[in-house]
Structure 1
Amino acid sequence: MLGFSIYLDTDVSDQTENYLAKMAENGFEGVFTSVHIPEEDAKNYVKRLKKLGRMCAAHHLSLTVDTDLKALENLHISIENIANLQTFGISALRLDDGFTNQQIARLSQHLNVALNASTISEKDVQELHANHANFECIEAWHNFYPRPETGLDEDWFKARNKWLHQQHFQVMAFVPGDDRRRGPLYEGLPTLESHRYSNPLVAAVELTEKMLVDKVFIGDPQLSMSLAKSFGDFYQRSLVKVHVKTEFQPLWGRIWHNRPEVARDVIRLVESRQQNELLHQKVAPANQGQRKPGTVTIDNDLYGRYQGEIQICKVNLPVNNRVNVLGQIDQVDIPLLALVRENTGIEFLYEEEKS
């Protein structure tokens, strides 16, 4: 599951709803917000939270609210009155300080609950079982870390998630945004320190494929629409789009695919040799050069039956007189090559199409 964050320190406006709609179109299913607020701001937050809840419902987005007992009191919400919670359009509560395991167990009988993934203990799990908690409605959500150098260590994180899965929790973690970042530090809101300045899509895929994470949310309040579309392309259509500088016209205007078996050093475009054979074109040796990550190449006639195969280099490779260099993928897009798996679609874009 993919989600994103909307914060209530500013008004929930038509612009907010437009953003919600665009994110939903690109495969995002959940919204995260927080109501850790001083008492004097409670009226504004109540109004904004209810409006956000209505918008999320209209776009079929779940709404998870990060809160503690004091914040709920400031909003005049009682955990004893679940119906009152539901009037806000809240799908789940992410619980911080002040809740007992008995209260958490009772809440889990009525709505989804997220606990702090870093602090759940074996004792907590035992007490939740003893109080008949509904574990199908309880998840483990990691924090994000605004201050550089304080994000979680990858080895600890993965071991922690393994334990959480053994306790039958689904696990959620955050990746940073790429557009408007949250103050006061504006340094990204990742769970892992290694993701602080990473491409959010690459970070999200790493969490789910390598770090035992089930749900990924954007921590910062804004994802650019170009990157939101990249999320949609990858998760909905198994497609990666990269900008490339080249004069080789056949690259444009179609979707290529990586071979079903994944090579270590290069991405092999499965349609390329077949296309060359159909066109009866000879590829003469030309423009041999150093092949660095992101270099697009074509095998020339010195490679025999491999003639016409187009590849994208994933690592540094030496000059080869049987391989012609066609162009270079934009440096910003090179991390996206890590997303190319078996049969992944690849579309080349002109550099000037970047937004």
Structure 2
Amino acid sequence: MFGISIYLSNDNDFETTIQQASKNGFSLIFSSLHIPEENPANYHQLLTRLGAAAKEDNMQLILDISTESLAHIDLTIDNAERLTELGVTGLRVDYGLTIDEIAKLATKIKVYLNASTIDEPFLKSLLQAGIDISQVEAFHNYYPKPHTGLDVPFFKQTNEFLHSYGLKVAAFVPGDEEKRQPLFEGLPTLEKHRHTHPFVAALELETLGIDHVYIGDPSLQTQTIEQFSAFAKEQTILLDCELSKELDSRIQQHLLQPDNNRMDPARDLIRLEKSRPALGKIDIAPLPTNVRPIGSILIDNQLFGRYQGEITIATRDLPDEPKSNTIGHLTPESIAILPFIKPGQILRLRQYN
């Protein structure tokens, strides 16, 4: 599942942001009670608004807390479950809580632990304290300061360990529109994602054992929202491309409709399964040039015999092939998606403007 991050400031239009996110397939919200840049005196009023908006659009709201931050809204760990009355569905606990306090809290509300700092003795102590593990998930941090994000080997190993205990795991990717103060350097969990396209980063997190992906920064570009929405609602990957201006209208019309990678995936190509049955009877003449770098969109011409009409996408640089015409190219951001396209994956090309 995909989530957004909303921070408790007076200039934040929670209601509109949450309504739009819900319409686009996002189902989770992360917020925090201990952000140094915010005024804690406003927390209760703002959290009341945020919780009401989350309930209105049926979105889960996970709130990052500590014993100190709870005091800002006149609560303690003993009555923190009262936050459910405001629409909070889970609490992320990072520091300042004992094993017994966490176990007790999990009897009242879902608890999210800091994924990056959990070790086996800690989990065993929680289990010995009688915690219901179904009420517990793990949640990695985001890292505002450049070069402080996690590295992939540690991250993957940690996620495998957490899954072995039955815990689901969440992590962050950066946004690509408004960046979060105070450094405006993106809010990723993995350092390699600090300047990576958010949707590409989200797909990679899935391969590394992440169950829930949150956008750390406040917003995404419209085209990126559409990619997350298509994937959340229809499991469809949108690939941005530039198509040849001389392209046959019948071929272009098919290209812009959903298709899927074959279940027996090729090493060098994405093979669009529906293309040959739909386009095989069109007489496609060879082109004089047919350079095929990675990201090239190709259609087999009449020289390929019964393969005429099959549309493919090069997943690596390929040699010239007179039996295949180059009819377009993916954008660099969409080329970065290619390694994460699975067998049978639904795809749809989108012309880049």
TM-score (norm 1): 0.91
Please list, as runs of the form range in 1=range in 2, the aligned pairs for 1:70-89 lying within 5 A after superposition.
70-82=68-80, 84-89=82-87
Give the root-mean-square deviation of aligned CA atoms.
Answer: 2.0
CA pair 81-153 structure 1, distance change in 2 beyond 3 A:
same
**Corresponding residue of 2:283:** 282
Q: How does 1:142-181 map to 2 (within 5 A)?
A: 142-181=140-179
Which residue number in structure 1 is paired with residue 220 of structure 2? 223
Relative to structure 1, is the Cα distance of residues 19 and 199 closer, same or farther in structure 2, using a 3 angstrom cutoff? same
1:289 Cα offset (Å): 2.4
Distance 1:300 1:260 in 2: 23
- Describe the shift of the 1:40–1:52 C-alpha distance in structure 2 as closer, same or farther (beyond 3 A): closer
Give, in angstroms, the shift of residue 122 of structure 1.
2.5
- In 1, are the aligned partners of 2:43 and 2:72 still within 8 Å (CA)? no
Equivalent of 2:57 in 56, 59, 74: 59
Unaligned runs of 5+ in 1: none
**CA–CA separation in structure 2 for the residues paired with 1:288 and 1:10:** 58
In structure 1, the partner of 2:271 is 268
Pair 1:291–1:123, CA change in 2 (3 A): same
Question: Are the equivalent residues in 2 in contact too, given 1:39–1:74 (CA < 8 A)?
Answer: no
Contact 1:244 1:348 in 2 (8 A): no
Which residue number in structure 2 is paired with residue 45 of structure 1? Answer: 43
Deviates more, 1:33-42 or 1:242-251: 33-42
- Report the alpha carbon displacement of residue 246 of structure 1 after superposing the two structures with TM: 1.6
**3-state SS, counterpart of residue 285 of structure 1:** coil
Letter in 2 for 1:70: E
**Alpha-carbon separation, structure 2, partners of 1:236 and 1:330:** 23
Secondary structure of the structure 1 residue equivalent to 2:108:
coil
Task: Encode CA deviations 1:100-140: one digit per residue, 9 max, x unaligned.
Answer: 11100100001011111121232322321222112111111
| Residues 1:40 and 1:66: Cα distance change in structure 2 (over 3 Å) | closer
Aligned to 1:149, the other structure's residue is in SS state coil
Structure 2 unaligned residues grouped into runs of 5+? none
Contact kept in structure 2, 1:251 and 1:348, CA below 8 Å: no
Query: Equivalents in 1 of 2:4, 2:288: separation in Å?
Result: 45
Q: How far apart in 2 are the matches of 1:152 and 1:37?
A: 21
Letter in 2 for 1:115: L
Task: Tell me the distance in 2 between the aligned counterparts of 1:6 and 1:319.
Answer: 50
CA contact (8 A) 1:202 1:338 kept: no
- Length, aligned pairs only: 347
In the alignment, the residues of structure 1 paired with residue 37 and residue 288 of structure 2 have an alpha-carbon distance, to the nearest angstrom, of 68
Paired position in structure 2 for 1:325: 326
Aligned to 1:109: 107
SS in 2 for 1:270: coil
Partners of 2:270 and 2:38 in 1: CA distance = 57
Larger deviation: 240-249 or 262-271? Answer: 240-249
Distance 1:273 1:52, change over 3 A: same
Q: Aligned residue for 1:127?
A: 125
Q: Secondary structure at the match of 2:278?
A: helix
Alpha-carbon separation, structure 2, partners of 1:153 and 1:12? 32
Q: Distance in 2 between matches of 1:32 and 1:102?
A: 25
- Native 8 Å contact 1:12 1:52 kept in 2: no
* Cα shift at 1:35: 0.9
Which residue number in structure 1 is paired with residue 31 of structure 2?
A: 33
What corresponds to 1:201 in structure 2? Answer: 199
Following TM superposition, by how much is the alpha carbon of 1:37 offset from its aligned partner in structure 2, in angstroms? 5.1
Matched with 2:9 is 9
Measured against aligned partners, the alpha-carbon deviations of 1:76-106 in whole angstroms (never above 9, x if no partner) come to 1122124532232211111122111110010
Looking at structure 2, the residues matched to 341 and 251 of structure 1 have their Cα atoms a distance apart, in angstroms, of: 24
Q: State the alpha-carbon separation in 2 of the partners of residues 75 and 244 from structure 1.
A: 52
CA shift for structure 1 position 339: 4.1
For 1:312 and 1:287, how far apart are their aligned partners in 2? 19
1:123-178 deviation digits (Å, cap 9, x = unpaired): 32232122211211111111111112111111111111111122222211111111
Distance 1:62 1:94 in 2: 13
Distance in 1 (CA, whole Å) between partners of 2:105 and 2:81 is 12
Partners of 2:37 and 2:182 within 8 A in 1: no
Q: Counterpart of 1:99?
A: 97
